Amino acid sequence: MNSAEIITIGDELLIGQTVDTNSAWMGMQLSMRGIQVNRIVSISDRREEIIAALDESLRRVPLVLMTGGLGPTSDDITKETLAEYFGTKLVMNQEVLEEVTARITRRNLEMNENNKRQAMVPESCRVLANHAGTAPAMLFEKEGRIIVSMPGVPSEMKHIMNEHLLPMISSMTGGHTIIHRNIMTFGTFEAKLAERLEGFEKELPDMVKLAYLPSHGIIKLRLTGSGDDPELVRRTEEEQVRKLYSIIPDVIYGEGEVTLEEIVGKLLLDNNQTVSTAESCTGGKIASMITSVPGSSAWYRGSVVAYDNSIKAGVLGVDPGIINRYGAVSEETVRAMAERMRSIAETDYAVAVTGIAGPTGGTPEKPVGTVWIAVASAAGVVAEKHLFVDDRQINISRSATHALNLLRKHIISR
């Protein structure tokens, strides 16, 4: 068994009411165990859609995982459809009924017919107990292929996967290994990075693949090694990681899923230093990213969101003459903001940002997306100008990440 497909069921997924996080989690777990996910499909709560999706998946892969449509109400038709599909009938499962009754009783709720329906399962399935909820999972086998239907509630799905399916899958993969290694980069764009890595990609061994995963300036390089010899896969992948560090050391900032704010925090903590922030166009975004890191109070002092010029002058103490002469969005103003913030907060570093997030407010000289960023320290102030896009949220996000990266580089350079 080396491939699978995932089917998620529910109209709420299709209309955007609910975000499908189940597939992402299942895909990651399967990949870690050597199972290639070929396709993920979301379908409506309709009999014909469920049957069509099953028919197609069973023609393609030996393992099909399904979530959703197992609730106690009349619009949850997955069980009935599966019973029809596998040529069986629904029967009352006494063990499931006892589990549902005990759960309802513990919650001081009244048992009704809808609750009892949870214990009705296709007669030919193997029931997988759900100790995190009332709807059991059901495992079917057909011509050597395995189909598992699970509840759509994420906590219940994860319980069933961890308790029943992942141990079973691990024993059936035949020792095939897939290892992912994420190298986090910042400070370049995808096309340029691909150009720099063109030779590297051509020389990659067959067992290692490279993927580019960009998001608001951060590009995750995912190396995926696969093979039947785990030690050979690990060793080969490690060699490729070392090559990456030798080719693009200037843009690599970490590995795994580490964020820029976590890296900055570690650098400051290791050096027993602190930082503060002064934000205009980002409106507190940088402060929010920093304080999302546990323990950031050890190295982060605080922020002034100086959105209006009166706050830049009155609270930060920026000379109004600088703002009047050069404008709020200028190198001179952002340098003054950083210097004043560092002085007020008495921190080793201060980061300042000012710009035009949009969609309005731009001029021919300073179009929407114009952003100035500065970092102040005892060594002086460094500042850089960026021209982003005309999308407000993207501009805010990119301004914040570029600010953190400028701080990271400034700390490293000291």
Confidence band, pLDDT 50/70/90 cuts, at residue 179: confident
Claim to verify: residue 403 and residue 278 sit in the same structural domain: yes
**The predicted structure's pLDDT at residue 2:** 81
Claim to verify: residue 31 and residue 140 sit in the same structural domain: yes
Domain limit, last residue, from 152, 172, 192: 172
* Nearest CA among 331, 322, 344 for reference residue 385: 331
**The predicted structure's pLDDT at residue 75:** 74
Percent of all residues in the chain with a pLDDT value above 90, rounded to a whole number: 82
Distance (Å, whole) CA 34 – CA 36: 6
Domain limit, last residue, from 111, 139, 172: 172
Claim to verify: residue 16 and residue 162 sit in the same structural domain: yes
Distance (Å, whole) CA 349 – CA 378: 8
Counted domains in the chain: 3
Q: What one-letter code names the amino acid at 192?
A: K
Claim to verify: residue 57 and residue 143 sit in the same structural domain: yes
**The predicted structure's pLDDT at residue 376:** 98
**The predicted structure's pLDDT at residue 367:** 97
Claim to verify: residue 30 and residue 158 sit in the same structural domain: yes
Q: Which domain holds residue 78?
A: 3-172
Distance (Å, whole) CA 330 – CA 52: 59
Residues forming beta bridges with residue 224, ordered by sequence position: 180, 209
Domain limit, last residue, from 141, 172, 203: 172
**The predicted structure's pLDDT at residue 152:** 93
Residue with tokens 């070392």: 242
Residue with tokens 């090559």: 243
Is the predicted pLDDT of residue 339 greater than 80, yes or no?
yes
- Residue 118 is classified by DSSP as T
Neighbour count for residue 224 (Cβ, 10 Å)? 17
Q: Are 92 and 120 in contact (CB under 8 A)?
A: yes
Claim to verify: residue 166 and residue 182 sit in the same structural domain: no
Tell me how far the alpha carbon of residue 316 is from its chain's centroid. Answer: 36
Claim to verify: residue 221 and residue 245 sit in the same structural domain: yes
Computed over its alpha carbons, how large is the radius of gyration of the chain? Answer: 27
Token representation of residue 227:
């093979």
Domain at 78, CATH number: 3.40.980.10
Claim to verify: residue 165 and residue 185 sit in the same structural domain: no
Task: Report the range of poorest mean pLDDT among 106-110, 130-134, 286-290, 352-356.
Answer: 106-110
For residues 368-373, average pLDDT = 98
Phi, psi of 42 (to 5 degrees): -110, 135
Claim to verify: residue 282 and residue 397 sit in the same structural domain: yes
Q: Are 61 and 38 in contact (CB under 8 A)?
A: yes
For residues 198-203, average pLDDT = 97
> pLDDT per residue over 281-308, tens digit each?
999 999 999 999 999 999 999 999 999 9
Q: Are 2 and 141 in contact (CB under 8 A)?
A: no
E strands in 124-207: 126-128, 137-142, 145-150, 177-186
> pLDDT per residue over 62-76, tens digit each?
999 999 988 777 778
**3-class SS at 150?**
strand
For residues 79-106, average pLDDT = 91
- Alpha-carbon distance values, 168 to 46, 145, 171, 226, 318 (Å): 30, 14, 5, 20, 64
Q: Are 218 and 401 in contact (CB under 8 A)?
A: yes
> pLDDT per residue over 120-129, tens digit each?
999 999 999 9
Is the predicted pLDDT of residue 30 greater than 70, yes or no?
yes
- Residue 298 is classified by DSSP as G
Domain at 224, CATH number: 3.30.70.2860
Claim to verify: residue 145 and residue 21 sit in the same structural domain: yes
Distance (Å, whole) CA 93 – CA 98: 9
Token representation of residue 113:
């017919």
Claim to verify: residue 147 and residue 69 sit in the same structural domain: yes
Is the predicted pLDDT of residue 255 greater than 80, yes or no?
yes
**The predicted structure's pLDDT at residue 118:** 84
> pLDDT per residue over 131-178, tens digit each?
888 889 999 999 999 999 999 999 999 999 999 999 888 777 666 778
CA angle 302, 308, 310 (to 5 degrees): 95
Distance (Å, whole) CA 299 – CA 310: 28
Claim to verify: residue 298 and residue 238 sit in the same structural domain: no
